[in-house]
Structure 1
């Protein structure tokens, strides 16, 4: 069965062409998976698509959004699934990491490092927090933050008591999307290094193993997830996760509570 997809962005048109058994291009909106560019006021475009009857919405690489706008969009997400493409926090890598650390002793502490050009620092910090949330296995809360001259120091804590230290800084020579690194302080160490690619290493008593590289584009991963969401009643947690990570990134950069 093929699902109709409206995609005006070239990478997503390519993704549709690469999925001939499950996707077919369309110019409609009603009953169709709609791809929305993540620049400018993307949340309004996603809301308009949902209100127009889209079967699902994909937000491609969303820029920073006001938390209030995310809350408003979430009110529509029960009826219309929203999938968010976050290249530094790929859903397929998240699933692989979650499966790999299941059963390992919970980390008592995590170290989050992030650097990026000025244009993308807020987004890289947001996705770095997302990785910390995934590894901690629970929402995070702000405990302390200080920000000055494009630098951020912060302390977060998970609902389970894991301590998360955060260091972020502007760096003009960093990859365009930014670079994030997350390291657990535990008997079984988890290391995540994400920029253009994501490398995950797990070290425990048995040795060191590196998760397989993913060669599928992040656009195609997001499109496949949206098609699956449109065909089921199961709803994605993408918007709730994005809201959580955005609120904490804003709080860290401004020094106010999330």
Structure 2
């Protein structure tokens, strides 16, 4: 068994088992944040922890969020010295003699602990609202977004109360008419999201999980920061939130009270 890999994070030979402290599966926001904090705690890349991820082509000039976001993550990796082993597809994680065995298409790994940071980026969540299959316009997810100009002259419903929804609403509302809908009222907080705010957010999640309930969205416990950017969006009237619609029609969306809006695009920031 090999007891570590070099800083370059080269992919191991197929029959070699690499021994490390922690295997982080996924190099998105959660995975890279985990790697950053592992390194801050003194674990060395390779012997202390390894990040496994699938490769993404970021060579195109015109890119959507599905490429632009990984490109940003690549810069994060370089900035903080977080080598990622890729391309690797994890096939099996199992316990073996008091450690975790991670079997991949490019070799095996043995670790004391596992951080599952695979997330939902490759399988975006689009709620199954009544009538969704009848809609005659376009339905897109955040990961499909490329540029606001593609929506010029169309009415766009932006669904979601997270920061990605706010950012895309800002861009799209500059070139066309938008409708912003969320399931809950969005709470904006002034000031930074510091360690105390982070601990309070974690406490809320823990209390819910201990009560046997599934965790809610991140923004439901953290709220959104009222940054200068968000304030500017609010000042020009783009942050006029409406409650979530109840169904989708062939030409738009309908609310429980019977009110309808004709729209061309539904952008799911979910």
TM-score when scaled to structure 1?
0.25
**Which structure has the larger Rg?**
2
More helix by share: 1
